[in-house]
Amino acid sequence: MIMVKKYAWILIIGLIVIFISCHPRQINLTNEQIVANYYKGLNDGDFSLIINLVSDSIQTTEKEYIITRSRKELYQQFKWDSVFNPKYELIDLKADSNSIEATVSKTCKRIEFLQDTSLIIKVMIDLKNGQMTKIQIIDYVYINFAKWQPRRDSLVVWIDKKHPELSGFLNDFTIKGAENYLKAIEFYKNEK
């Protein structure tokens, strides 16, 4: 009986050692590294890299639109965006004690259709306890509204007439909605 208890304790201690050694180690990252890894995760389509860089909920702000997303909702946004094969480039980072001001270039199939070139924005990213809590667009460095809005509106009107089965793609932020958006762009380019 004593021998069984001894082996049970050895087994428990061994399992604890294995668990601790296999558990990913938290490395203290600088705020700049956190932001760089976030955009790397977006580029690589690797949400497992992103998940630990954001707090349980993250607030995104664009003009008057303020949205607070849980990690699950952020993952849904990530999946929608991934359909367009986005490429992000960090152009500039300026660190403050608990925030980062970043200039970010983004291109993807949707943006290429809407304005031909990369979208460049300036964002303020707030961090707390090593996690991102807020991403706020503070400036549009380059967006061509003269192309963007008419192309988007023309696409929506054309799709409603020619391919009504895809209508509503613009406001459908699911994977299916993103796929329909890409189909709409392809139909429009090929048939226009």
105 — pLDDT class (breaks 50, 70, 90) = very high
- pLDDT digits 0-9 by tens, 57-70: 999 999 889 999 99
Hey, what domains does the chain have and what are their CATH numbers? Answer: 28-143 (3.10.450.50), 144-192 (no CATH)
Decide: residue 26, CB within 10 A, 0-12 exposed, 13-18 middle, 19+ buried: exposed
Residue 41 pLDDT > 60, yes or no? yes
Edge-to-edge strand order for the sheet containing 65-70?
A: 65-70, 54-62, 131-142, 119-128, 99-107, 87-95
